[in-house]
Structure formats: C-alpha cells, structure tokens
C-alpha cells in the first residue's frame, strides 16, 4: 500500500467505467490501494475505496445500493470460520458513514452479479455509507454489514480531496465553491412520521427536550427497523420514534437500544411512550439484535 | 383560496415549465392557491408554493438558488413602510425549512430577471428552504429572507403528498417506496471543518457532550456566517464551530447566538474555545444581527 496521503473521492484522470486487470493495476493507479484486501482505509481516516467482488456469500448488489459485508473471520479459502470484529476496514467504513465521506466502489467479475463486469475490475463511481449493523451471516458467525448508496454527481458536491490531516494551521478555503462541501448526514422524513412528531409535540421520547427554532419546534423521526433495502421496515407509527437530533444519531448508530419494557440499554432512563402510540416489540427486538452495539 | 387539503410537491398533470396567465388561473389549477399573495401556506402546515415576481426590491434570483423576501410591511404601491414579522407566510416558510417540505416555485414576468418568463407566470419546479434570516432591507425596515435551493428530481425523493393531518389513526404506508420520504435536513461538511472537530475531540463547544457512535465520536461543524450565496461566509477555522447536532440546529435557526466575550445569548452558558481556535468577532456580529431571533 502506498504511503502517500489517503485520497477520497474521484482520482484525477479516472472516470467511472474505467477497467483494471487486477489488484496490482488498481494499486498502481491509486484507485484501490490494497494488494488483496477489499477495503482500503483506516478507522482514523475512513475508507477511501472498496472492491465488491461477490467473494462474501452475504453481499447484496442492487446497483445503486449495495449491502456490503465487512472483512475478517474467514480462512484462506474464503469460508467464514469466526466472528467479524468492528476493527480495521470495518471501522473505516463506520468512520466514512459518520463523516459522510465518499467511497470509491470497484466491482470485480462475478457470475451471479448482473452489475459486475464480465472480467477484471471496473470503477463504478462514488457511494456513501448510509448505515451499518451486525447480524448472523449464512455461516452462523457474526458479520458486519454496510449499506452503500450511490452518489448522484449533480448533487453530491464531492470534490476530490485528500484526508483531513488535523492541522488547524491551514487557512482552509477562503473562497469556497459549493463543490468543496460534502454531505455528512441526511435526515429523511415521511408523512406518517410528521404526525407522530406532532402527537409528541416535538418532544424527544428519550430526554423530553423540544428544540425551538424561530418559535417553531423541531424533532426528528427515527424508524426503529429502517426503511428501504435490505431491512424494509414499514413506515408505520408502531415502527417510529420521535427523537431530538442527538438521540436520533445515537439510536441510528446503535449507541443505545430499547428493552421490551421500554427501559433503555446503553444509556440510563426509560422511553416515554404516549397512550396512543403502540410500539411493535418485534421492531425493538430487531434493533437490539442488529443495531445495538455494546460498549459504545 | 380553496378550502381543500394543502397539497405539497408537484400537482398532478402540471409539469415544470407550464405557464399561466394570472393568479386566477394558477388558483384554479391548484398550483398557487392565493388570489394575490406571493406565499401560499400557514405556519402550522408549511408553505406549498411561492411566486417570485421581483415585486420586492430585495429579492435575488440566481436560478437554482433564490433569496426570497418575506411578506408584510408594504403599502398598496409595494413600498416597504414597516418591519416584516415572522407570521403567516413568513412563518410558513420557516416551517417548510424545519420539515424539509418541497415548495413549488412560480416565476412571474420581470424585466430585470433573466430567469423570469417573458410574460405571465411559469411553474419552475420544487425547491427547499435552505435557511432564513432577518436583515435591514434597502428601505431601512426589517425584512425576513429565505434562501431556496432547487431540488434535483433524481434525488429529491419527493412524492406529491397532502399535508400532514396529525391523525395517528392512519396506518401509514406499510410498503414504502423510497419516493415516499422527504429530506428534512442535510448536514454538510468540509475538510477544514473536519480538522476543527478533531481538534475539539468531537466535543460540543456549547454543552461539552461528545456523541459516541459505534465507538467513533460524532460532531457537526457549524459555519457562523453561512457558506454560499448570499452570505458567502468563508470556509475557514475562524468561522466554524464544533457542535452537537442539537446545538447545531438551534444555532442555525437562531435560537441562540454568541457575544463577543463568548457568553451565549438565548441560552445560558459560555462557548468553550480552545487556545488554538481564534474566532473572528465579525462573524459573531453577523450571526447576532442576521440569525439570532429573540424569544425563541
């Protein structure tokens, strides 16, 4: 792996669609700086690129969306023989999610994948890590999963830029263009979610706070079992919580979860639930099993 | 104004580019349900449409971005003779910002505006309210300003939907498509902002909290004088704060601001600032003058 600064975003001169024979040529081009690992990155900086090769039995490639399995716990034949841990490449992808960093996605040839190239490897552009969780893989061992969503070029505003060096001495960009910013977090909302927030008068069900903004209350809706592939949680009242932004971030990242008796796990306290808001315990079970991470 | 449910998003059968002779024909088509006011909406529901007609001397139309002046305080000739208040249509636009609701933008003919139609009115698609603030208009009176940004159709995921009726009895959408969700909030980030967050170890400069997410700390960067038109604040360390999501929302919406001595206005406490982080007082003055809203 090259020792130069980690480069996030597009690599100059390499357009999406560019093909490569093998890892060695990708490494030389700087598009994926690993000799064999599928994830290039570190927990401190984030992941700059991944290779989707269908090597993991649990990967799901939907084109613009990818459910990517983390690394580790496999023997030399590729068979899962131990739990995966949230370290190295896996932690790098979590960091990318938290910072909204763009990840270069490269697809390797794989017979079963209609989105894969016929042979070799193809650079397929930039994705962002939308969410991550853990589950029991087909092998019975714990695996980490990452949902990546393709960035649309017109709106991604992602410039090719090197990793943050943490140096406050830099003057930054005094004449910023809109291209220089990245999206760190997107909060989505649905009609039924709006009605729940109204029901709770925009008070957080965890801490009771109601943020006021220009006299208008603000809260966010959190789906307990997430919407969209692969979880396909429903957009129904029994699957939604009304949370302040801080507790929304913590809940989505599994820093806390909720017992069936509504006591909280990971942080102190109990979820406040109004008489008219019936929460489906199945979704709480799901969140505890897939999203809650101990000791964080 | 029709008394039926307020409709947000596109109106069925009316494509962007559609033209209308006058307010009466727009009202009949349901594209702008007002007989003469430029803003259709309410503080409770949000604004479903606005007309950019160049009638206000302070409007700025940049095509994909619009700086729109609120309503009120003008005499029958259109001259500003009093301060504008954060009520009615103005409050509706704040609600739209908070909820991430799409606003239909209709442009009226105006000689000085290259983006306006030659005559009559033209529906120009959906925008979101990106921010709002108050300032002294050219007339010397206080006006409210709203920055609207055009939604890109591919990523807006905005379905045509009616206003939230607040009824928890509805079952919601049990098989949601991605089109059914709206973007409520987008958090952007820049390279220099990342270095500041690292400098503060991701602790909020207001409350000291550091959110942990899967063992990785999370914070957001807030530009004191916002990036982009019309403010064009710089992406430099002396214009950025490291905040938790809750205080970021409150700061952006002017629920609190910061005195030159770093004591907070609107909430108790004092901003924590590290030795190596010099904040430019000019940007604090700007935030107090344009964004801070008393009594919220």
Is A104 or A1 the better-scoring residue by pLDDT?
A: A104
Q: Do A198 and B174 touch (CB under 8 A)?
A: no
- B106 three-class SS: strand
- Segments of chain B with pLDDT less than 70: 1-4, 54-58, 152-181, 295-296
The beta strands (E) that lie in chain B are given as 7-8, 19-20, 39-42, 46-52, 60-61, 65-69, 103-108, 121-136, 142-150, 161-162, 182-189, 211-213, 216-218, 220-223, 240-243, 257-258, 264-265
> pLDDT at position A295, please?
58
What is the predicted pLDDT for the residue at A122?
Answer: 96
Task: Indicate the pTM of the whole model.
Answer: 0.76
Contact B253 A214 (CB under 8 A): yes
Min Cα–Cα distance to chain B from A227, Å: 7
Q: Which pairing describes strands A46-52 and A103-108: parallel, antiparallel, or unpaired? A: parallel
Q: How far apart are CA B102 and CA A94, in angstroms?
A: 31
Give the model confidence (pLDDT) of A125-180 as tens digits. 999 898 888 888 888 898 999 999 888 653 333 333 333 444 565 444 444 444 45
B183 neighbors A187 (Cβ within 8 angstroms) = yes
The CA distance from B103 to B120, in Å, is 20
The minimal CB distance from B236 to the residues A171, A235, A253 is found for A171
pLDDT of amino acid B160: 35
| Rounded distance between C-alpha atoms, residue B113 and residue B51, angstroms | 13
| pLDDT exceeds 70 at position A217 | yes
**In chain B, what is the greatest distance between 2 CA atoms, to the nearest angstrom?**
61
Residues 6+ apart with CB under 8 A from B67: B58, B59, B60, B61, B145, B146, B147, B148, B229, B230
For chain A, count helices (H), then strands (E). 6, 17
CA-to-CA distance for A272 and B33, rounded, in angstroms?
40
**Does the structure's ipTM exceed the value 0.90?**
no
Site from A214, A218, A242, A247 to mutate, B interface, most B CB atoms within 10 angstroms: A214
Out of B86, B216, B244, the one facing A94 most closely (by C-beta) is: B216
Assess whether pLDDT exceeds 50 at residue A265.
Answer: yes
Alpha-carbon distance B275 to B87, whole Å? Answer: 42
pLDDT mean across residues, chain A = 85
- Say which residue the tokens 């649309």 belong to: A152
What pLDDT is recorded for position A186? 76
Which of A99, A176, A216 minimises the CB distance to B235?
A176
Taking the CA atoms of residue A59, residue A60, residue A61 and residue A66 in that order, the dihedral angle to the nearest 10 degrees is -80
Does residue A127 sit in helix, strand or coil?
Answer: strand
**Inter-chain CB pairs, A–B, below 8 Å:** 250
A276 interaction partners in chain B (CB closer than 8 Å): 168
Residue A180: the pLDDT is: 54
Residue of A nearest to B173 (CA): A235
Whole-angstrom distance, CA of residue B97 vs CA of residue A213: 10
DSSP code at position A57: T
Are A236 and B178 a contacting pair at CB < 8 A? no
Mean pLDDT of all residues in A102-121: 91
Count Cα atoms within 13 angstroms, Cβ side, for A36.
4
Lowest mean pLDDT among A47-51, A234-238, A240-244, A253-257: A253-257
Helices and strands (H, E) in chain B, number of each type: 6, 17
pLDDT tens column, B197-228 = 999 999 999 999 999 877 788 999 999 998 87
Task: Select from B69, B6, B83, B15 the least CA-distant residue to B42.
Answer: B6
pLDDT at A290: 87
pLDDT tens, A8-48?
999 999 999 999 999 999 999 999 999 989 999 998 889 99
- CATH 2.30.280.10 domain extents, chain A: 7-180
Note the CATH architecture for domain B7-180: Roll (2.30)
Interface test with B, best of A43, A153, A172, A210 (most B CBs within 10 A): A172
DSSP, collapsed to helix, strand or coil, labels residue A286 as helix
For residue B91, how many C-alpha atoms fall within 13 Å in the half-sphere facing its CB?
13
């Amino acid at each position: 792996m090259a020792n130069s600064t980690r480069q996030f975003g597009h690599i100059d001169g390499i357009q999406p669609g560019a093909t490569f024979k093998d890892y060695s040529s990708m490494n030389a081009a700087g598009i994926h700086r690993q000799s064999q690992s599928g994830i290039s990155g570190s927990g401190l900086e984030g992941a700059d690129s991944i290779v989707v090769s269908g090597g993991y039995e649990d990967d799901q490639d939907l084109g613009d969306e990818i459910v990517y399995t983390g690394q580790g716990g496999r023997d030399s034949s590729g068979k899962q023989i131990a739990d995966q841990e949230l370290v190295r490449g896996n932690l790098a992808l979590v960091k990318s999610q938290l910072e909204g960093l763009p990840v270069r996605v490269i697809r390797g040839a794989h017979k079963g994948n209609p989105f894969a190239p016929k042979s070799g490897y193809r650079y397929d552009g930039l994705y962002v890590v939308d969410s991550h969780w853990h589950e029991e893989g087909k092998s019975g061992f714990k695996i980490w999963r990452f949902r990546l969503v393709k960035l649309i070029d017109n709106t991604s505003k992602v410039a090719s830029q090197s990793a943050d060096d943490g140096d406050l001495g830099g003057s930054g960009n005094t004449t910023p263009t809109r291209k220089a910013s990245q999206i760190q977090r997107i909060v989505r909302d649905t009609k039924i979610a709006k009605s729940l927030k109204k029901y709770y008068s925009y008070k957080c069900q965890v801490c009771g706070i109601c943020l006021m903004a220009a006299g208008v209350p603000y809260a966010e809706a959190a789906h307990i079992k997430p919407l969209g592939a692969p979880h396909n949680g429903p957009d129904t009242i029994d699957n939604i919580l009304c949370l302040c932004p801080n507790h929304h971030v913590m809940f989505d990242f599994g820093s806390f979860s909720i017992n069936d008796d509504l006591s909280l796990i990971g942080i102190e306290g109990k979820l406040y639930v109004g008489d008219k808001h019936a929460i489906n315990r199945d979704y709480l079970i799901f969140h505890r099993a897939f999203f809650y991470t101990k000791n964080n």
